[in-house]
C-alpha cells in the first residue's frame, strides 16, 4: 500500500513538473492553445502501468495544482475541459484494445484541444474560436504522436517495476 501511495505522489509531482517545463518552452507558432502536452506522458504512463482510477487521480491532482501555481482561474477551466475529455477518450480507446499507446495518445491530444475550444467558446460567448479547430487538430495529432512514442518507451521500462 505504501509503495502505491509513493507512486501516486511521484507521478503527480512529475506531471506538475512536466507542465511547468512545458510552460517554459516557447511555442514558435502564434496560435493560442498549441502546447506539447508533456504532462500527458505521465498520465498515459499511469493509465498503462497503474490503471484507470490511478491515472484519473493523477490527472485531477495535476489539473488542480497546475491551475493554482501557473494558470489561474480561467486556465483552470481550460485545463479541466481538456484533461477530462482527453482522459475519457483515452480510457475508451485503450479499453477497446484496437489501438496502440500512440493511437491512444493521438486521440488524447485531439480531444484535449476540442475540450479547450468548447470552453473558449463558452467563455468568450462566440463561435469565432472554431476557426482554430483545423490547426489544433493537426497539432493534436503531431504532439499526440510524439507523446505516445515517449510514453510507449517509458511504459516498456516501467511495466516490470511497479
- Residue-wise pLDDT for 104-139, tens only, equals 999 999 999 999 999 988 888 877 788 888 999 999
Q: What is the residue whose three cell numbers read 504522436?
A: 145
Separation in Å, CA 67 to CA 13, 74, 80, 121, 153: 14, 9, 9, 20, 28
- Would you kindly state where each structural domain of the chain is located, as residue ranges? 2-158
- Do 148 and 103 contact (CB within 8 A), yes or no? yes
| C-beta neighbour count of 121 within 10 angstroms | 14
pLDDT digits (tens, 9 = 90+) for 72-84: 777 888 889 999 9
**The C-alpha cell that represents 74 in the structure block:** 480561467
- Do 71 and 19 contact (CB within 8 A), yes or no? no
Q: What is the residue whose three cell numbers read 499511469?
A: 46
Q: May I ask the CATH class of domain 2-158?
A: mainly alpha
**The C-alpha cell that represents 33 in the structure block:** 492553445
pLDDT digits (tens, 9 = 90+) for 36-90: 889 999 999 999 999 999 999 999 999 999 888 887 777 888 889 999 999 999 9
Whether 148 has a pLDDT exceeding 90, the answer reads yes
Separation in Å, CA 57 to CA 11, 25, 64, 87, 110: 10, 26, 11, 11, 21
What's phi and psi for 45, nearest 5 deg?
-60, -45
130 DSSP assignment: G
CB burial of residue 148 (10 Å; 0-12, 13-18, 19+):
buried
User: pTM for the whole thing?
Assistant: 0.89
- Do 91 and 107 contact (CB within 8 A), yes or no? no
Amino acid at each position: 500500500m505504501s509503495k502505491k501511495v509513493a507512486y501516486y505522489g511521484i507521478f503527480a509531482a512529475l506531471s506538475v513538473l512536466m507542465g511547468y517545463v512545458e510552460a517554459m518552452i516557447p511555442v514558435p507558432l502564434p496560435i493560442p492553445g498549441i502546447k506539447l502536452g508533456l504532462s500527458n506522458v505521465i498520465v498515459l504512463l499511469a493509465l498503462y502501468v497503474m490503471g484507470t482510477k490511478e491515472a484519473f487521480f493523477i490527472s485531477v491532482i495535476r489539473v488542480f495544482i497546475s491551475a493554482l501555481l501557473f494558470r489561474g482561474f480561467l486556465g483552470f477551466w481550460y485545463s479541466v475541459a481538456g484533461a477530462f475529455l482527453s482522459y475519457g477518450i483515452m480510457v475508451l480507446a485503450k479499453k477497446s484494445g484496437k489501438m496502440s499507446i500512440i493511437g491512444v495518445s493521438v486521440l488524447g491530444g485531439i480531444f484535449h484541444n476540442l475540450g479547450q475550444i468548447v470552453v473558449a467558446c463558452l467563455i468568450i460567448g462566440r463561435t469565432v474560436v472554431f476557426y482554430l479547430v483545423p490547426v489544433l487538430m493537426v497539432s493534436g495529432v503531431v504532439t499526440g504522436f510524439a507523446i505516445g512514442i515517449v510514453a510507449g518507451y517509458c511504459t516498456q521500462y516501467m511495466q516490470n517495476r511497479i
